[in-house]
């Protein structure tokens, strides 16, 4: 197939996704005792969320600019300290022994161990965040650890359906799936055939895992975003952030989200009561520019800091930057703005880096 044909396929698919994303919900509200975010055939964001409406002409302009940049744009300069060599990442992980730890594999993918429970978040190990192997955002750097480097996984958590968070090729390749518990938003369980246990969760659902004989607990929390896998399933599956804890330590993962005037303070209160607070926030701070296009779906770095403080996170790791090019901000700008806003609460990790949770002070 000629490159022009490939570009045409990518253009048509991208056009369909962008135009379909004009919809903010699917169907009418259910009314009665049904949750506000449930619609007849899908879901919508919480009350008082920033509305995302981008005119079709602006969407077409963004798509054209993105295709041009991906085809002809210069690769960004990536500092050597942005990522560890795989051999160093392997050695650092092996040195953790039985300690609790967090590893940044890239984008929104983290490997965490809490009280003996190993959790993998939004696992994406593929070269592209795309339904197509030949087009779409490609990794700037390989994953910090490869699938074969991972310890046995107990829990996989997915925040939503977008390709940079739900990667079916990775899900198929994870070993020993029959022993893994998958925790996913409503509507996404069908992607986890062959997994040991699959929990489809709504906002504020709580999952505990007594089979692991630990106090591990996870709560699905709201997020301000949207979902789809194609132009034909917009917002038919739910999106979420999540908090989890075990062994006296707690973590919050934003998924993808915009800020909200009150919701994250409510989440913080719930985490304080049910998870002992938030030791570590994994904050999605990239893909925010141009702001007129991304607002309502992705927060900017300062918004990520404000959100983490509303939740009460002691330390915050910036994520969802420096792995794929999904928008138009300069490569290092998300990190720089986040560090400036967060001060000593900021904890910038290298791709591939592993840190002991006990070294992340509360």
Containing structural domain, residue 137: 80-359
pLDDT for 307-330, tens place per residue? 999 999 999 999 999 999 999 999
Measure Cα distances from 168 to 68, 134, 180 in Å.
Answer: 27, 16, 15
What CATH code is carried by the domain that includes residue 275?
A: 3.60.15.10
Instruction: Check residues 182 and 74 and name the one with the higher pLDDT.
Output: 182
Sheet-wide strand order for 278-284: 206-208, 217-221, 241-246, 249-253, 278-284, 313-319
* Residue 3 burial class via C-beta count within 10 angstroms: exposed 0-12, middle 13-18, buried 19 and up: exposed
The answer to whether 251 and 279 are in contact (CB under 8 A) is yes
What band does 74 get if pLDDT is binned at 50, 70 and 90? confident
Whether 36 is in a domain gets the answer: no
Whether 141 is in a domain gets the answer: yes
Any idea which residue has 């895992």 for tokens?
209
What is the average pLDDT value for the chain, to the nearest integer? Answer: 91
Overall domain count for the chain:
1
CA dihedral (312, 285, 92, 195) in degrees, to 10, reads 90
User: What average pLDDT does range 127-139 have in this prediction?
Assistant: 86
Whether 56 is in a domain gets the answer: no
Whether 40 is in a domain gets the answer: no
Listing DSSP states for 159-192 in one string gives --SSTTT--HHHHHH-TTGGG-EEEEETT-GGG-
The answer to whether 244 and 263 are in contact (CB under 8 A) is no
Would residue 176 be called left, alpha or beta, if left means φ above 0 and alpha means ψ between -120 and 50 degrees?
left
- At 24 the pLDDT is 55
| High-pLDDT (> 90) share of the chain, % | 78
Measure Cα distances from 203 to 63, 212, 263, 305 in Å.
Answer: 32, 23, 12, 22
Whether 3 is in a domain gets the answer: no
Measure Cα distances from 9 to 129, 136, 168, 326 in Å.
Answer: 16, 11, 21, 19
Q: What counts of helices (H) and strands (E) characterise the chain? A: 8, 15
Closest to 53 measured CA to CA, from 18, 77, 82, 85: 18
Helix (H, G, I), strand (E, B) or coil at 234: coil
Cα 16 to the center of its chain, rounded Å: 23
- At 362 the pLDDT is 53
What band does 183 get if pLDDT is binned at 50, 70 and 90? very high
| Tokens coding 106 | 């890239």
In the predicted structure, residue 49 carries a pLDDT above the cut 90: yes
Burial 261-292 (b: 16+ CB within 10 A, else e): eebbebbbebbeeebebbbbbbbbbbbbbeee
d(CA 156, CA 108) in angstroms, rounded, equals 13
The answer to whether 286 and 254 are in contact (CB under 8 A) is no
The answer to whether 35 and 238 are in contact (CB under 8 A) is no
What band does 8 get if pLDDT is binned at 50, 70 and 90? very low
User: What average pLDDT does range 326-338 have in this prediction?
Assistant: 96
In the predicted structure, residue 1 carries a pLDDT above the cut 50: no
Residue 73 CB neighbours (<10 A)? 11
- At 332 the pLDDT is 96
User: What average pLDDT does range 41-47 have in this prediction?
Assistant: 96
Whether 35 is in a domain gets the answer: no
Peptide bond into 178 cis (omega under 30): no
In the predicted structure, residue 4 carries a pLDDT above the cut 70: no
- At 305 the pLDDT is 98
Candidate from 61-70, 114-123, 274-283 with smallest mean pLDDT: 61-70
Whether 246 is in a domain gets the answer: yes
313-319/278-284 β-pairing: parallel
Instruction: Check residues 238 and 9 and name the one with the higher pLDDT.
Output: 238
pLDDT for 187-219, tens place per residue? 999 999 999 999 999 999 999 988 777 899 999
In the predicted structure, residue 37 carries a pLDDT above the cut 70: yes
What band does 108 get if pLDDT is binned at 50, 70 and 90? very high
Sequence-ordered list of residues with C-beta below 8 angstroms from that of 11, at least 6 positions apart, any chain: 63, 67
| Tokens coding 161 | 């359906």
The answer to whether 123 and 170 are in contact (CB under 8 A) is yes
d(CA 54, CA 52) in angstroms, rounded, equals 7
Whether 269 is in a domain gets the answer: yes
Helix (H, G, I), strand (E, B) or coil at 322: coil
In the predicted structure, residue 15 carries a pLDDT above the cut 70: no
d(CA 226, CA 43) in angstroms, rounded, equals 8
Instruction: Check residues 353 and 52 and name the one with the higher pLDDT.
Output: 353
């Amino acid at each position: 197939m000629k490159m022009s044909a490939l570009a045409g396929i990518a253009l048509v698919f991208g056009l369909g996704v962008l135009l379909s994303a004009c919809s903010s919900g699917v169907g009418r509200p259910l009314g009665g005792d049904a949750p506000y975010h449930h619609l007849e055939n899908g879901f919508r964001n919480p009350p008082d969320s920033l509305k995302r409406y981008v005119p079709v002409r602006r969407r077409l302009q963004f798509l054209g600019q993105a295709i041009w940049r991906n085809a002809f744009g210069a690769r960004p300069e990536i500092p050597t300290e942005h990522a560890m060599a795989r051999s160093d990442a392997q050695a650092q992980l092996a040195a953790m022994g039985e300690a609790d730890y967090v590893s940044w594999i890239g984008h929104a993918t983290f490997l965490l161990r809490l009280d003996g429970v190993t959790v993998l978040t939004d696992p994406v190990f593929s070269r592209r965040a795309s339904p197509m192997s030949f087009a779409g955002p490609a990794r700037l750097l390989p994953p910090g650890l490869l699938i074969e480097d991972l310890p046995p996984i107990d829990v996989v958590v997915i925040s939503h359906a977008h390709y940079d968070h739900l990667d079916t090729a990775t899900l198929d390749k994870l070993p020993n799936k029959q022993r893994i518990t998958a925790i996913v938003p409503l509507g996404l369980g069908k992607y986890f055939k062959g997994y040991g246990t699959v929990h489809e969760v709504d906002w504020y659902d709580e999952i505990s895992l007594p089979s692991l004989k630990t106090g591990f607990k996870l709560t699905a929390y709201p997020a301000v975003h949207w979902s789809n896998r194609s132009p034909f399933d917009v917002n038919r599956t739910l999106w979420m952030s999540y908090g989890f804890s075990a062994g006296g330590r707690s973590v919050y993962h934003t998924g993808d989200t915009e800020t909200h005037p009150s919701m994250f303070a409510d989440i913080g209160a719930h985490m304080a009561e049910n998870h002992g607070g938030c030791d570590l926030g994994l904050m999605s701070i990239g893909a925010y520019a141009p702001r007129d296009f991304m607002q309502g779906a992705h927060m900017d770095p300062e918004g990520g800091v404000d959100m983490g403080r509303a939740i009460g996170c002691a330390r915050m790791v910036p994520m969802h930057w420096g792995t794929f090019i999904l928008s138009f901000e300069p490569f290092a700008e998300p990190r720089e703005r986040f560090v400036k806003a967060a001060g000593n609460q900021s904890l910038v990790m290298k791709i591939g880096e592993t840190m002991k949770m006990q070294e992340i002070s509360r």
